[in-house]
């Protein structure tokens, strides 16, 4: 415990007064405000003399979380009080009973839901460590079941931790950022908290891909200085027309977020210059009467159609989320319009929202509660949220699932888009995208799913494995003597359906595994191969399964025939030979680590194939081999969420050692001409002295595309190759691609 200085006390007092100002807009009456004051005094005394890692008084964290809760999420006094008290039980001698006695049962319940699992991991075995991190998230899932405000406050807590993450050691920072990307960002999206989601994403990018983040933010800063003022010219006639129509409005201008740009570049294969929705203009209007809200939204869109010529609108970018709100409640009209300019035109996304729609977009489900309390008619958000919560209940109510399995199912639920289908009577049902007719059958009723034999989709007969699309009308055909089959697990997508079928088949599972093991052994002998751990691993990886047990079960249950076993083994063995020289462990003369990890072997992970110069993270396995991933690798994010305790401290490349080569792939695109392939390969091989392992070029209609696999010593060399190749006559674009092991 340390004494606080006058500056410390002044900082705390200023933050407290700032919170009170924000709270006054949400509390109802002096009693609620007094409760907030009492909670601050209680928490301030409990955390007295304690500092955060950043050096500031610890009470600044609960104050900041409470401010986010009220200002950015829009919750009321009970949530503000719970946010102020959320670390008291965990970090001090006070108990939940003390909170209940000092405040009330509801606030104590919220604080109890927020209290983290605090267990020393250092002396625990690996299995326990793995489960504890997932168990913490399992508890979060259970609080979703009890009171969604607990999760909203938890999001506020995580957001403040993200805002102050720079004070943490790098290996702890990576763990928190991994958890944030895997769980909290999808959760914020599902709950409609776009502002929180976007800030978390940008912070993740800043630390996981610092070079890309810096490059994008610098380009955005240049745009802010250059083209951004041209939006004033674009907005001027809109403002004039809205005033003339007597519409009360506010217009905001913004640029696309760095993470959104990075993600589009990475997934769409485009360059920064090819992103057409960099600019956005938001029109926020206040309708004269609540009943005119929707008609006024379309009136504003009609005004835009009168101002700008029809060809100025990008036809495939019109989005009506007013007539058909998103499942998280988002409502708006979107359209994309060309902003004409003497130098170069550019696209502008225009979003039209009422003040209520904007509040819901910024504050998600909390805004729904606020408007419902005021008697405003809302879209059917409550039913959609109930559907999402019901699916979460189905995930956590599986008694046979481990904490990690629950975590994976929850991640899938949060990140999968929704579709809407209809029953024969026209009732709406929401499912995750990719769901099949059998998933739908199980959502209707367990017995309907268990006895299903086929489906009628839009009056046509289909198998149960048929994937559904939004708008489908579905009828399930059943038979009394039908029963769940193991092969159903091959195409089921929803947690509820999978859990029911697994539970039904539970008694038969070991029989399937035993039978499958015998079949695999027999098939390998027929191919003249040993029944070895190496070959089994090649097989289950080749069939995209996670474990040998999964392989045996799939074979034994008839879901996998092994008819192509020789091809799969050949393909995987060939693939292994390509990767073998860097998949084999090497000593740490290529990578520097802390003293505790010196002398250990390293493996470059084939899921992302980092090369010297890439930001990297290392995970230590049970054999004391350290697996190196890119920091932005999806698998690394998953490992950070589940096995954060295995992260090694701050591995860095040894840039002095250039004796080792690493695989990299580039894609090339441009206008075809005689000799262009020769120019490309000459530069790579003779000028740069880089080994080309594989070429794949195609030409069609005067345009060529190609992939080139290289062996490089560093990212710096690869960047040089990319930069120089773009200067060759005819080449339009060169970019690095991911190499992922099949």
pLDDT digits (tens, 9 = 90+) for 594-605: 666 677 788 888
562: left (phi over 0), alpha (psi -120 to 50) or beta: left
Counting DSSP H helices and E strands in the chain, the numbers are 30, 19
Q: Do 282 and 225 reside in the same domain of the chain?
A: yes
Q: What is the pLDDT of residues 61-76, one digit of tens each?
A: 999 999 999 998 888 8
Contact assessment for residue 378 and residue 368, using Cβ atoms and an 8 Å cutoff: yes
Give pLDDT, residue 350: 94
Q: Do 68 and 194 reside in the same domain of the chain?
A: yes
Q: What is the pLDDT of residues 117-160, one digit of tens each?
A: 333 333 344 444 555 566 666 666 666 656 778 888 889 999 99
d(CA 552, CA 568): 16
What is the CATH classification number for the domain harbouring 309?
Answer: 3.30.460.10
Is 91 one of the catalytic residues? Answer: yes
Instruction: Calculate Rg over the CA atoms of the chain.
Output: 29
Give pLDDT, residue 398: 61
Is 112 one of the catalytic residues? Answer: no
Domain boundary among 562, 582, 602: 582
Q: Is 586 exposed, middle or buried (0-12, 13-18, 19+ CB in 10 A)?
A: middle
Domain boundary among 582, 602, 628: 582
Mean pLDDT of 228-239: 87
Give pLDDT, residue 588: 57
Domain boundary among 346, 373, 400: 373
Q: Is the pLDDT of residue 24 over 80?
A: yes
Q: Do 465 and 543 reside in the same domain of the chain?
A: no
DSSP H/E element including 415 = helix 403-415
Length of the chain in terms of residues written: 742
Q: Is the pLDDT of residue 257 over 90?
A: yes
DSSP H/E element including 255 = strand 248-255
Give pLDDT, residue 394: 66
Mean pLDDT of 109-124: 57
More confident residue, 395 or 372: 395
- With 0.75 as the threshold, say if the pTM is over it: yes
Give pLDDT, residue 277: 77
Q: What is the pLDDT of residues 489-536, one digit of tens each?
A: 889 988 888 888 887 887 677 888 888 899 988 888 888 888 888 888
Q: What is the pLDDT of residues 643-654, one digit of tens each?
A: 888 898 878 887
Q: Do 577 and 588 reside in the same domain of the chain?
A: no
Q: What is the pLDDT of residues 433-463, one digit of tens each?
A: 899 999 999 989 999 999 999 999 999 999 9
Give pLDDT, residue 363: 77
Answer yes or no: is 612 within a domain.
yes
Answer yes or no: is 322 within a domain.
yes
- pLDDT category at 282 given cuts 50, 70, 90 is very high
Answer yes or no: is 142 within a domain.
no
Answer yes or no: is 248 within a domain.
yes
Q: Is the pLDDT of residue 476 over 80?
A: yes
Q: Do 155 and 26 reside in the same domain of the chain?
A: yes
Answer yes or no: is 140 within a domain.
no
Q: Do 81 and 187 reside in the same domain of the chain?
A: yes
Give pLDDT, residue 582: 45
Q: Is 603 exposed, middle or buried (0-12, 13-18, 19+ CB in 10 A)?
A: middle
- Number of Cα atoms under 13 Å in the Cβ half of residue 348: 29
Identify which of 735, 413, 741 has the alpha carbon closest to the alpha carbon of residue 603: 741
What is the CATH classification number for the domain harbouring 694?
Answer: 3.30.70.260
Q: What is the pLDDT of residues 164-182, one digit of tens each?
A: 998 888 888 999 999 899 8
Contact assessment for residue 306 and residue 244, using Cβ atoms and an 8 Å cutoff: no
Q: Over the range 44-56, which residues count as b (16 or more CB within 10 Å of their CB) and which as e?
A: bebbeeebeeeeb
Only one residue has tokens 């599902």, namely: 190
Mean pLDDT of 224-236: 81
Query: What percent of the chain has a predicted confidence (pLDDT) above 70?
Result: 85
Secondary structure (DSSP) of 520-578: HHHHHHHTT----HHHHHHHHHHTT-SSHHHHHHHHHTTS---TTHHHHHHHHHHHHHH
Given the residues 17, 34, 45, 90, the one annotated as active site: 90
Angstrom distances, CA of residue 395 to CA of 433, 450, 684: 17, 18, 52
Residues 6+ positions from 541 with CB-CB distance below 8 Å: 572
Answer yes or no: is 27 within a domain.
yes
Answer yes or no: is 141 within a domain.
no
Q: Do 550 and 410 reside in the same domain of the chain?
A: no
Q: Do 351 and 234 reside in the same domain of the chain?
A: yes
Show the domain range for 365: 212-373
State the chain's mean pLDDT as an integer.
83
Given the residues 91, 135, 299, 650, the one annotated as active site: 91
558: left (phi over 0), alpha (psi -120 to 50) or beta: left
Q: Do 471 and 517 reside in the same domain of the chain?
A: no
Ranking 201-210, 258-267, 403-412, 664-673 by mean pLDDT, the lowest is: 403-412
What is the CATH classification number for the domain harbouring 106?
Answer: 1.10.3210.10
DSSP H/E element including 634 = helix 634-642
Q: Do 248 and 155 reside in the same domain of the chain?
A: no
What is the number of structural domains in the chain? 6
Answer yes or no: is 396 within a domain.
yes
Nearest 5°: CA angle at 620, between 617 and 625? 110
- pLDDT category at 578 given cuts 50, 70, 90 is very low
What is the dihedral sign for C-alpha 196, 202, 205, 206? Answer: negative
Give pLDDT, residue 579: 43
Torsion of CA 723, 729, 733, 736, to 10 degrees: -40
d(CA 79, CA 58): 19
Q: Do 20 and 98 reside in the same domain of the chain?
A: yes
Angstrom distances, CA of residue 1 to CA of 89, 168, 266, 270: 18, 20, 47, 53
How close are the terminal C-alpha atoms of the chain, in Å? Answer: 54
Six-digit token string for 243: 């005033």
Q: Is the pLDDT of residue 317 over 90?
A: no
Contact assessment for residue 619 and residue 605, using Cβ atoms and an 8 Å cutoff: no
Q: Do 362 and 276 reside in the same domain of the chain?
A: yes
What is the CATH classification number for the domain harbouring 403?
Answer: 3.10.20.30
d(CA 174, CA 178): 6
């Amino acid at each position: 415990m340390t004494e606080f200085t006058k500056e410390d006390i002044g900082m705390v007092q200023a933050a407290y007064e700032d919170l009170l100002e924000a709270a006054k807009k949400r509390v109802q009456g002096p009693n609620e405000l007094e409760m907030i004051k009492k909670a601050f005094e209680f928490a301030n005394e409990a955390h007295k003399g304690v500092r955060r890692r950043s050096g500031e008084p610890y009470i600044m964290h609960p104050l900041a979380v409470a401010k986010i809760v009220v200002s950015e999420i829009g919750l009321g006094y009970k949530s503000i009080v719970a946010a102020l008290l959320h670390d008291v039980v965990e970090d001090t001698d006070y108990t939940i009973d003390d909170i209940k006695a000092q405040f009330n049962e509801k606030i104590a319940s919220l604080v109890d839901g927020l209290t983290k699992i605090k267990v020393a991991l250092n002396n625990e075995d690996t299995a326990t460590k793995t489960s504890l991190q997932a168990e913490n998230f399992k508890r979060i899932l259970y609080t979703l079941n009890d009171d969604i405000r607990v999760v909203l406050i938890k999001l506020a807590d995580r957001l403040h931790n993200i805002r102050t993450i720079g004070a943490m050691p790098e290996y702890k920072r990576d763990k928190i950022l991994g958890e944030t990307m895997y769980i909290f960002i999808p959760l914020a999206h599902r709950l409609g908290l776009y502002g929180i989601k976007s800030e978390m994403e940008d912070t993740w990018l800043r630390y996981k891909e610092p070079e890309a983040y810096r490059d994008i933010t610098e380009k955005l800063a240049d745009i802010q200085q250059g083209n951004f003022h041209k939006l004033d010219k674009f907005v001027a006639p809109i403002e004039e027309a809205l005033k003339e129509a007597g519409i009360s409005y506010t217009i905001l201008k913004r640029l696309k977020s760095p993470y959104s740009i990075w993600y589009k570049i990475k997934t769409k294969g485009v360059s920064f210059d090819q992103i057409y929705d960099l600019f956005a203009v938001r029109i926020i209007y206040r309708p004269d009467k609540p009943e005119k809200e929707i008609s006024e939204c379309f009136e504003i869109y009609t005004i835009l159609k009168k101002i700008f010529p029809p060809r100025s609108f990008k036809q495939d970018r019109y989005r009506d989320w007013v007539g058909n709100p998103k499942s998280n409640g988002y409502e708006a009209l979107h359209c994309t319009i060309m902003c004409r300019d003497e130098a170069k035109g550019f696209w502008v996304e225009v979003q039209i929202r009422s003040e209520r729609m904007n509040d819901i977009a910024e504050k998600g489900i909390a805004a729904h509660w606020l408007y419902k309390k005021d008697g405003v008619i809302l879209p059917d958000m409550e039913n959609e949220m109930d559907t999402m919560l019901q699916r979460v209940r189905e995930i956590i109510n599986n008694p046979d699932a481990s904490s990690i399995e629950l975590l994976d199912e929850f991640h899938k639920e949060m990140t999968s888009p929704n579709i809407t289908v209809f029953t024969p009577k026209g009732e709406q049902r929401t499912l995750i995208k990719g769901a099949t007719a059998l998933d739908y059958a199980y959502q209707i009723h367990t017995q309907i799913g268990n006895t299903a034999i086929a489906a009628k989709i839009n009056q046509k007969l289909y198998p149960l494995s048929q994937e559904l699309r939004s708008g489908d009308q579905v009828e399930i055909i059943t038979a009394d003597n039908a029963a769940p089959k193991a092969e159903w697990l091959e195409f089921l997508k929803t947690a509820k359906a999978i859990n029911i079928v697994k539970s039904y088949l539970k008694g038969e599972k070991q029989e399937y595994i035993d039978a499958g093991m015998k079949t695999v052994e027999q098939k390998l002998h027929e191919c003249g191969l040993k029944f070895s751990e190496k070959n089994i691993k090649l097989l289950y990886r080749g069939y995209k399964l996670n474990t040998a047990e999964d392989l045996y079960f799939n074979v034994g249950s008839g879901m996998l025939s092994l008819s192509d076993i020789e091809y799969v083994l050949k393909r995987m063995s060939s693939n292994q030979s390509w990767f073998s020289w860097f998949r084999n462990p090497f000593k740490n003369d290529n990578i520097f680590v802390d003293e505790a990890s010196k002398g250990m072997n390293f493996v470059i992970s084939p899921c992302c194939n980092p090369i010297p110069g890439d930001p990297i993270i290392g995970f230590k396995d049970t054999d004391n081999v350290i697996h190196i991933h890119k920091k932005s690798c999806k698998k690394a994010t998953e490992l950070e969420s589940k096995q954060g305790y295995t992260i090694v401290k701050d591995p860095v490349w040894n840039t002095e050692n250039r004796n080792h080569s690493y695989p990299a792939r580039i894609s090339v695109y441009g206008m075809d001409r005689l000799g262009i392939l020769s120019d490309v390969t000459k530069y790579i091989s003779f000028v740069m002295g880089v080994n080309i392992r594989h070429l794949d070029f195609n030409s069609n209609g005067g345009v060529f595309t190609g992939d080139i696999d290289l062996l490089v010593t560093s990212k710096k060399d690869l960047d040089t190759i990319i930069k120089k190749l773009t200067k060759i006559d005819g080449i339009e674009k060169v970019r690095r691609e991911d190499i992922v092991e099949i």
